[in-house]
Amino acid sequence: MTDIVSYEPATGAELWRHPISDIDAELAEARDGWPAWAAKPLTFRIEAMRRFANVVRQRADAFADLIARETGKPLWEAKTEVDSVIAKVDISVSANTERTAQRRLDSPMGSRMALRHKPHGVLAVLGPYNFPAHLPNGHIVPALLAGNAVVFKPSEKTPATGAFLVECFHAAGVPEACVRLIVGGPDEGRALAAHADIDGLLFTGSARTGIALNRAFAEKPEKILALEMGGNNPILVWDTPDLHAAAVLIVQSAFTSAGQRCTAARRLIVDQTLAEPLTAELLKLMNRIIVGAPHDDPQPFMGPVIDNESADQLTESFLALLMKGGQPIKHLERPVADKPFLSPSLIDVTNVRDRPDVELFGPVLQMSRVETFEAAIAEANDTRYGLSASLVTQTPRLYDQFWANIRAGIVNWNKPTNGASSAAPFGGIGWSGNHRPSAYYAADYCAYPVVSNEAEAARASIGIGLRDG
């Protein structure tokens, strides 16, 4: 049996290994375990989730250290991810109460109508590597609250974090049968998604994989499918006097997490009259960014990308933009030849006519200069994706125009494109999702509504259409 091995991006050292899981056996466990879990009162499941939050709180330092080592992200950022895992419980409890609570509806003639929600059964969760605890946890907690069992396959690039997360659920007293871990690679992910014993799939990852899953589920309308995919996100700068503040927002949007966020800004669209002074402010800031290992002192702003393969692909993409006529403002550099550290980069693609509409998942920012605000919005919308978009301006009228015309599920004003709140819905349109937003709205796809018209005694008559008896 082949092992899945996890390596530290910053050092190349082996971190964790585990045999590939038996998917049939794991799903059989979950299938056997979920009815008893679903039959528990909601209050019981809420208390279990709160115990889980306490377990994570007690293990926070070890958890953050593991996330930092396995993803390469700075330790300070890994700690914020653990905080998000803990905070998800109370947010999910509130969302469950607001989105899927039991309700009485008006009904005539002394009967009653009730709205309740039922769990789907066994839900598969496929997690990403960029937030290997927070993002799958955003599916798992609401799924468990609703009464589902979960079979979770973390990314093969971050399996140790996934295993740690599952251990925290078990340590909190969530039945082991109700949260199962699948260790494996892409083949196991495909097998899990296609398995007859799942009642739905909750996915966070690339658009390419999400579209393949959407196609595979096209003939399975009985199974819930929630897709949270990526973005080719724009940030626009227009009519703003504080170019330093604009540069800070751009850097936060494009280079936090080494650009490995689905909400990261990939495209900077700027009034051509501001392009030169804004670029100067950006370069001042970009040149100060510390790129380093997770535990370096002083702490780096960004660590490596996830692995050498990703670094190679990003380097090739940057060179391809150069070959198409892009003008480098700050080159994408690789300071350590055999490690996936990359410097933040900026390239002017104004004159590149056939730019690929792809999500460059790393620290590559493409700048376009335009003459009118209408052209800026058209440029921002020139993508199949529609996750996040941000406008930096001090003119409220422009924001009103931007909000009305931009195609995205997250639309921000004088804020970064990333850093979305878990207390709000999270999702996009186009290739960014399938209209099943996550975060606060995850409760919606973790249970289905059941409407019941009820009376304690049978009373019925037919007043028309019968012959005399």
Name the residues annotated as catalytic.
228, 262
Is the distance from CB of 56 to CB of 90 less than 8 angstroms?
Answer: no
Q: What is the DSSP string of 172-221?
A: TT--GGGEEE----HHHHHHHHH-TT-SEEEEES-HHHHHHHHHHTTT-T
φ and ψ at residue 105, rounded to 5 degrees = -115, 155
CA atoms of 469 and 466, how far apart (whole Å): 8
- Report helix, strand or coil for 151: strand
The one-letter amino acid code at 285 reads L
Q: Which position has the token pair 């290992």?
A: 293
CA atoms of 412 and 433, how far apart (whole Å): 19
Distances (CA, A) of 78 to 73, 92, 118, 302: 7, 21, 35, 11
CA atoms of 277 and 37, how far apart (whole Å): 60
Is the distance from CB of 430 to CB of 385 less than 8 angstroms?
Answer: yes
Which tokens go with 182? 């699948």
Residue 455: count other Cβ atoms within 10 Å of its Cβ: 12
**174: exposed, middle or buried (Cβ count in 10 Å: 0-12, 13-18, 19+):** buried
CA atoms of 304 and 263, how far apart (whole Å): 18
Pairing of strands 345-348, 327-330: antiparallel
**Closest CA relative to residue 62, chosen from 163, 143, 146, 137:** 163
Pairing of strands 103-105, 14-19: unpaired
CA atoms of 467 and 469, how far apart (whole Å): 6
**2: exposed, middle or buried (Cβ count in 10 Å: 0-12, 13-18, 19+):** exposed
